[in-house]
Amino acid sequence: MKKNIIYGLHPVIEAIKSGRYIDKIFIRKGLKGSTYFELKDLIDETNINFKIVPQEKLNRITRENHQGVVAFISPIKILDVEELLEMNLVKDNIIYVLLDGVTDPRNFGAIIRTAVAVGVSGIIISENNSAPINEDVVKTSAGGIFNISIARAKHLLDVIFLLKSYKIKIFAATEKSNQLVYNSNLKQSFALVMGSEGKGINKNILKNCDKTFKLPISNKIQSLNVSVAAGVILFEALRQRL
């Protein structure tokens, strides 16, 4: 799958104004000028994820005249969290997956593939510190990304409080827990929080979860790949519901 990118100050500005779903924008370090400030104002207004990068990085992405700006267009529509919740109001026994710091596109794609197989109602990611929605994600998800709703939020902690107001329990997978997932009731509506393999789940998020659990693993290895762990937990939820 060819990368979905646009480049140049005016094309990126027009893409934002037209409502295109932009995953991330790379901006050359030191870029200035009135058009740049117009772009920056739009980015701030729309909360689009952006990163300041050296010229060399942009040149590696495209050899065209990028004018110091390259934007990655998401292949799917990204929802607001409120939109996602409203879509599922009439459903029972909902499952959401919240990804905190999962930055590897292949892990993200594998989690999407499993989530679709299990019947997850939606995946919620943060604006920053999340894997880009690119061709690697699409490929690893085996096209599953086109069959599930994905929402993005500025802060996952705010999402947790919102989900609780919808009577949805928040469960977190962490090796620090004393409880096994198999002793947990996964028949009810819940949101599963998965963290990065390196840093795990943010402490403030863990503190506000209704329950934490872990998977039993051999003492010969410290942890499982996040996509594998998510798969085991989600299929345990499916098993309980059958």
The answer on pLDDT for 166 being more than 80 is yes
DSSP string, 31-93: --SHHHHHHHHHHHHHT--EEEE-HHHHHHH-SS--TTEEEEEPSSPEEPHHHHHHHTTT-SS
Q: What is the mean pLDDT of residues 21-30?
A: 91
- CATH classification at residue 35: 3.30.1330.30
Identify the helix (H) or strand (E) that includes residue 27: strand 22-28
180 and 231 in a single domain? The answer is yes
Report the greatest alpha carbon distance in the chain.
60
The answer on pLDDT for 3 being more than 70 is no
Domains contained in the chain, number? 2
- CATH classification at residue 102: 3.40.1280.10
User: Using CA atoms, how far apart are residues 182 and 184, in angstroms rounded to an integer?
Assistant: 6
For residue 39, count CB atoms less than 10 angstroms from its CB and return exposed for 0-12, middle for 13-18, buried for 19 or more: buried
Higher-pLDDT residue of 197 and 173 is: 173
Q: What is the mean pLDDT of residues 80-97?
A: 94
The answer on pLDDT for 14 being more than 50 is yes
User: Using CA atoms, how far apart are residues 30 and 53, in angstroms rounded to an integer?
Assistant: 9
185 and 156 in a single domain? The answer is yes
82 and 12 in a single domain? The answer is no
pLDDT value of position 223: 76
**Among 73, 100, 123, which residue terminates a domain?**
73
pLDDT value of position 18: 82
Higher-pLDDT residue of 127 and 235 is: 235
| Residue 79 and residue 150 in contact, taking contact as beta carbons nearer than 8 Å | yes
pTM for this structure? 0.80
135 and 190 in a single domain? The answer is yes
The domain in which residue 147 lies consists of 78-241
CA atoms within 13 A on the CB side of 79: 16
For the sheet with 95-100, list strands across it: 78-79, 150-153, 122-126, 95-100, 190-195, 169-173, 211-213
91 and 68 in a single domain? The answer is no
pLDDT digits (tens, 9 = 90+) for 113-129: 999 999 999 999 998 88
Q: What is the mean pLDDT of residues 50-70?
A: 93
**Among 73, 90, 106, which residue terminates a domain?**
73
26 and 103 in a single domain? The answer is no
Instruction: Report the relative pairing of strands 22-28 and 122-126 from DSSP bridges.
Output: unpaired
Read off the amino acid at residue 219. Answer: N
131 and 17 in a single domain? The answer is no
Q: How many CB atoms lie within 10 A of CB 190?
A: 21
pLDDT value of position 1: 40
55 and 127 in a single domain? The answer is no
Instruction: Report the relative pairing of strands 50-53 and 22-28 from DSSP bridges.
Output: parallel
The answer on pLDDT for 85 being more than 60 is yes
Higher-pLDDT residue of 222 and 115 is: 115
The answer on pLDDT for 211 being more than 60 is yes
Residues above pLDDT 70, as percent of the chain: 99
The answer on pLDDT for 242 being more than 50 is yes
pLDDT value of position 192: 98
Phi and psi (nearest 5°) for 74? -70, 140
**Among 43, 73, 103, which residue terminates a domain?**
73
Region of 92 on the Ramachandran plot (φ > 0 left; ψ -120 to 50 alpha; else beta): beta
211 and 104 in a single domain? The answer is yes
